[in-house]
Amino acid sequence: MKISIITVSYNSELTIRDTILSVLAQTHPDIEYIIVDGASTDGTLAIIEEYRTKITRVISEPDNGIYDAMNKGIREATGDFVGILNSDDFLADQDTIKDLVSFLQENPSLDCSYADVVYVQRENPEKITRFYSSKNFSPRKVRIGIMIPHAGFYAKRELFERFGYFKLGYRVAADFELMARFMKNGAIFGRYPQVMVKMRNGGISSNGFFWRIHQNFEIVRACKENGIYTNIVFLMLKIPSKLLSYICR
C-alpha cells in the first residue's frame, strides 16, 4: 500500500527539518513524499534541498494560501491513501506509517482513518502540553463543531477525485468542511487508536481569540453547506466535550 504524505510550507526554516526527517525515518517502504512550498524567502528551500534526492516531488511557487497548497499536493499524489503533515509537525515515531498501513490492511472497508495527536512546546518538542484524543468522536458531534484532528486524518485518494478538494473560500476551517463533506457522501471512517502526529503549539486556528471566533463562523457555514443543522450558539455545546478530548486517552 502506497501512502502519500504532503507537507506544505512557507518560511518554515525553524521547524521543517524535523518534519522532513520524521518522514524519511519511516520504516514503511512505500511512501510518496511531496513538499509544496509557497516560494519561501527564508532558509526553508535550502533545507529542503539538502534532502531533495529523498523527496518524491518538490513544488515551490506562490499560492493562494495553505489550502491551495494542500490541493496542489493532493493532485500530484499517486498513493492509495493521502495525509497532510504540516511543516511545524512531525510523525510520532519511525513506525507510525507502517503501523497505520497494517491497520488499514486489517480494515479494508475503511475509506478514511483518524488517529490521536499531541501538542508539544514550540521550542521544546519533547515536552507534551496537551493530548488530543479522538476516542469519543462520533459523526453526530459534527453539528456542535467537534471534528477529528486533521493531522491524524488519512483518506483514500479517490475520495478527493470523487467529492472534491479543500475549498479555498475558507481561511481556517476548510479541513472541517472537507471531512464533513466526505462523511455526508458516505465515506466510511475508522479510528486508528494511536498517536500519529506531534504538533507544535501555535497554529492559526488555535492561536488567538479572533481566529477562534472566525473558525466557529466558518464551521457553521461548513455544516450548512453539507446539510448539517447547527448555529453559532449550538457550537457552545462543544466546549465540555472538547476539553474532555484534550485530557482523556
Element (H, E) at 57: strand 57-60
Average pLDDT, the chain: 91
Average the pLDDT over 30-34 and give the result. 98
Confidence (pLDDT) at 39: 97
* Per-residue pLDDT tens digits for 77-119: 999 999 999 999 999 999 999 999 999 999 999 999 999 999 9
Average the pLDDT over 219-231 and give the result. 90
User: What whole-number distance in Å separates Cα of residue 140 and Cα of residue 38?
Assistant: 36
CB 37 within 8 A of CB 116: no
pLDDT at 216 over 90: no
pTM of the predicted model as reported, rounded to 2 decimal places: 0.91
User: What whole-number distance in Å separates Cα of residue 192 and Cα of residue 27?
Assistant: 18
C-alpha cell recorded at residue 186: 458516505
Residue 238 binned pLDDT confidence (cut-offs 50, 70, 90): low
| Domain boundaries of the chain, sorted by first residue | 3-247
Confidence (pLDDT) at 180: 96
Query: Highest mean pLDDT: which of 118-127, 153-162, 200-209?
Result: 153-162
pLDDT at 224 over 70: yes
Residue 205 binned pLDDT confidence (cut-offs 50, 70, 90): very low
Considering only 8-17, 81-90, 140-149, 233-242, which range has the smallest mean pLDDT? Answer: 233-242
pLDDT at 240 over 90: no
pLDDT at 2 over 90: yes
User: What whole-number distance in Å separates Cα of residue 84 and Cα of residue 95?
Assistant: 17
The residues near 211 (Cβ < 8 Å, ≥ 6 apart) are 172, 204, 205
Task: Using DSSP bridges, classify how beta strands 89-91 and 189-200 pair: parallel, antiparallel or unpaired.
Answer: antiparallel
229 DSSP assignment? -
User: What whole-number distance in Å separates Cα of residue 86 and Cα of residue 90?
Assistant: 8
The dihedral sign for the CA sequence 62, 30, 185, 91: negative
**Domain 3-247, second-level architecture:** Alpha-Beta Complex (3.90)
Q: For the chain, percent helix, then strand, then coil, each to nearest 5? A: 40, 20, 35
